[in-house]
Amino acid sequence: MARRPDLQSGPERLAALVRSSIPPMHSAGLPFVGASLAVALLGRKRRWMRRAGLISAGANAAFFRHPPRVPPTRPGVVVAPADGLICLLGEATPPAELGLPDIPMQRVSIFLSVLDAHVQRAPIGGEVVAVRHRPGRFHSAELEAASEDNERNSVVIRTPEGVHIIAVQIAGLIARRIVCDVHVGDKLSIGDTYGLIRYGSRLDTYFPADARVLVSHGQRTLAGETVLAELA
């Protein structure tokens, strides 16, 4: 049984505060942090090498942070799949490799800088019905051309009501590695973590044209919490 907060000792309260203030790290970051700490250990007699290793370990731990999020509970909402800045709003056709009808959908694009948390979360709950990866270029991710030209990975989620929502991970100028941990047939709840991109990237979210968009250009988003739109 957990002890009541008012009965915890000073060290216990401090530990609880640290756990609530410092987010955990995604498992994909463990090799990078481990390698950095190994450099620091090997350079324990060389100050510059030890310092470089520790700085690298801290930077990687911060980049791969996996902060807890509480998604909204009201039905029919589409949440942001990523932390970042909304860089594009409007209608666009979904990626051609998905084989979907060539009908414009609403699209919200979120640009992730190297300072943002880079885990991706499901924009809505449902079944994964398609996962498609397409090689491409590595333009700066905030450009319009990135949606067409850059390397990307698309995930289509079908809600229990039969609505298709598409989340597209797009590599950027620095980001050269897209990680997607879901497969066709997987069931996701809104806000579930399903992948990440390193380092600096973009997420495009497509939803039906009759949905009501609730965000604006330049707005910052929190993955799994910020509501992008309400479905009709």
Enumerate the active-site residues: 201
Cα of 37 vs its chain's centroid, Å: 26
- Residues 6 or more apart in contact with residue 4 via CB below 8 angstroms: none
Order of strands, sheet of 152-158, starting from the edge strand that comes earlier in the sequence: 187-188, 126-134, 152-158, 164-171, 201-207, 105-112, 84-92, 220-221
**CB-based contact 31:56 (threshold 8 Å):** no
Q: At what angle do helices 47-63 and 30-42 cross, to 10 degrees?
A: 170
